[in-house]
Amino acid sequence: MRGETEVLFHGVRGSAPTSGLAYAEFGGDTPAIEIRAPDARLFLDAGSGVRNAAAAARQGDIDLVLTHYHYDHLIGLPFFEPAWRQIGRLRVWAPVLEDRRPEDVLGAFFRAPYCPVGLSDFKMAAEILAFRPGDTLDVGGGVAVSTMLGAHPGGCAVLRMKTAAGDIVYASDIEAASAREAARLAMFARGADLLIIDSMNDDMTAPHRRGWGHSSWREAACVGAAAGARSIALFHHDPRADDDRLNRIDAEAQAFEPRAFLARQGSRAVLNSRGGGERRSLERRRATDDGDAANQVLSRRR
């Protein structure tokens, strides 16, 4: 449908990939988001979850925007199938953080003995485009991406995607503990249809983790509420938090802020804009393995 944009959660776990039956519901792959707009295919971050997008992402032009270079957001990049089988072009938008050139940073990652593929091999498949947080990225396809520097050790880009179906803000790896930073984020996310935001901590862990560059679910929900976001996806889950714990947090967070929910790996959010954007809706659905049109509305939708 024209004006429909899908947001697919391929990886929602923070810091380190996690596996085991106790983590099966929320998933263990690290951050990777896919946005399918009518004329654009956009990926945000290349954590281990980006491998889950491979089958659906082989064709057409693709843009990948990296927010920063911590392992959990980059570890899937050598396994990102479009880089090797791409029929169209792959553009990788990479932030300049602490004045380091993205090519130098990625060159240190794509090199022996850490990786059998060198940066020159990768560049045969992908064009690397540097940006500075604050820049607006022209990814084409009717999608504009504005950016801002977030509070995180080493820096992190916060992204806002403007699509025909609505605005999506991606604020992973941000610490919204201070009133000033929370207000800055709320301003950037003002009126977003979907805010995807770091919520690695809970009330117990947050006080011990100040300066780590992550938020608690409560701090994240408050940013979303202050921004007037229509829906708030809590994201970047603690790698030690199993499904029982995350389900408890999900219930607590929704009681605290009804627009908030915990993102699950393999789920998707669909933004619709009908009648010139007057009637907007957001559905949460379970993703299908082959990436075909979603067919199952999550029963937990509220």
Q: Which is nearer to Zn ion, 6 or 72 (CB)?
A: 72
Q: Which is nearer to Zn ion, 167 or 238 (CB)?
A: 238
Contact criterion met (CB below 8 Å) for 139 and 40: yes
- Window of 9-17, 52-60, 155-163, 246-254 that interacts with Zn ion by CB under 5 A: 9-17
Binding mask 139-178 for Zn ion (x = CB under 5 A): ----------------------------------x-----
Name the 3-class secondary structure at 242: coil
**Binding positions for Zn ion, 253-282, rule CB under 5 A:** none
Exposure string for 81-96, b = 16+ CB within 10 A, e = fewer: ebbbebeeebbbbbbb
Size of the site for Zn ion (CB under 5 A): 3
CA separation, residue 288 to residues 58, 80, 217, 294 (Å): 16, 19, 28, 6
- The Cα–Cα gap between 225 and 220 comes to 9
Candidates 49-57, 70-78, 94-102, 217-225: pick the segment binding Zn ion (CB under 5 A): 70-78
User: Which residues are bridge partners to 233 per DSSP?
Assistant: 196, 261
Name the strand (E) or helix (H) holding 157.
strand 156-163
Which tokens is 273 given?
């804009």
Q: Does 45 bind Zn ion (CB under 5 A)?
A: no
Nearest distance from C-beta of residue 91 to Zn ion, angstroms: 22
The answer to whether residue 72 forms part of the interface with Zn ion (CB under 5 A) is yes
- Write the burial class of residue 274 (CB in 10 Å: 0-12 exposed, 13-18 middle, 19+ buried): middle
CB of 156 vs Zn ion, minimal distance in Å: 8
Minimum distance of Zn ion from residue 119's CB (angstroms): 22
Cβ-based nearer residue to Zn ion, 73 or 268: 73
CB of 213 to Zn ion, least distance (A): 8
> What residues line the site for Zn ion (CB under 5 A)?
14, 72, 173
